[in-house]
Structure 1
Amino acid sequence: MDAAAPQNLAQLAALAAALGYSSGLRLYAAVFLTGLAGWLQWVTLPPGLQVLQQPLVLGAAGAMVVVEFVTDKVPALDSLWDAVHTFIRIPAGAALATAAMAGAFGGDALTWGTVTALLGGTLAATAHAGKATTRAAVNTSPEPFSNLALSLAGDAAVPGLLWLSWTHPVVFFAVLAVGVAVALAVTVTLWRFVRRRWRRLRRGAGPAA
């Protein structure tokens, strides 16, 4: 079976945006699933992303997928993991988005590569901030089920976004716009809640009204 190749600039842009945004949610899953799809010849990856289908990269990414999957299910530990990955997910999202678009703009590669990196990093930062803030807010609740449900939703979101970007770019961009808007709204709203809640907890007060 022939692997599906990117057909046009819109599909490449969708893939770049999907990798940027997904990096803010599940960086290692985004890397592993993209590389696996290329290695299995389900798709033909753009030249800049073909390194992801190398066995050593797949093995390392796969191992980190397992670590992140488990860590993300443990309250408080997930927030620590998110805090550390603030310095990893955002530059990785920028790098993956740039790699997806490498060579697509001809002679003006430097300018467009910079623009793509900024957009990919911004998408990763937006998704990461929404995820980290939501999980920090949920961790103030003693019941474990909402934390687990949110974690599983994140696990499902990444393959869904990558698949949409490859098969239905227009639909993907619509979904992405909603996701970005929700992430921004959640970040602003829940950050205020988390800040107030932790202040009360430090002072030994009861739960917020």
Structure 2
Amino acid sequence: MDDPFAQGTAYGLKAKLEAGGVRTVVDEVYPPNTTDFNSIAAKIASSRADMVVGGTQYQDAVNLIVALQQLNYQPKLAAFSTAPTNPEFSKAIGAKTEGILAPTGYTEKATYPSNVEFVQAYTAQFGNPPGEDEANAYTTGQVVAAAVEAVGCAEQGDCQQKLVDWLRGNTVETVVGPLSWDAQGRPQGAHMIQQYVNGEIQIVLPGDTKEADIVYPKPSW
């Protein structure tokens, strides 16, 4: 999709794949209001690509997958940004989700010490475990608190630069795992990879947090 988030995800992965020797055979960008994916699906199917990677939101991924299903195209691997995390995704594509991958920044099952406490407290208060948005908000609080405690101030002015300098030189343990930052302030923590395994979303990468082994090749659509 012609969208900063979707393209950032797709082209970031594209660069890493190509650096690893994976050849790009089809590269399509479409407007956010696209609903007809027949022509794009036809290009993908005719290329006989081994994998399909979608920088997608939700409905565009569903429409693309349905169009590919109609052409009987079967990749060995399929990955989409955000769409597979939607509760309606499985039903929308005919419950043929097995093996589909997606990135995620959080799982309530992660065993990071602060996350165990966070999930227990959140579930006790709201009756259900936290999601990625709630975890990201809590992580922000953890990061700020760690910096303020280490530097010993929180005022406007010189203190702000001290907080920045501390964060760029240290790692903070959070509910989404250990986070550090580069010289430009960009977070260096790695996302996890989740996949539909036996009909359920499971963490398959990285190895220290995985709940199941990665499925490859992807079962038939």
Give TM class, smaller chain.
Answer: under 0.3
**TM-score (ref. length: structure 2):** 0.26
Instruction: Give the structure with the higher percent strand.
Output: 2
Instruction: Give the structure with the higher percent helix.
Output: 1
The one of the two structures with greater contact order (alpha-carbon pairs below 8 A, sep at least 6) is 1
Structure number with bigger Rg:
2
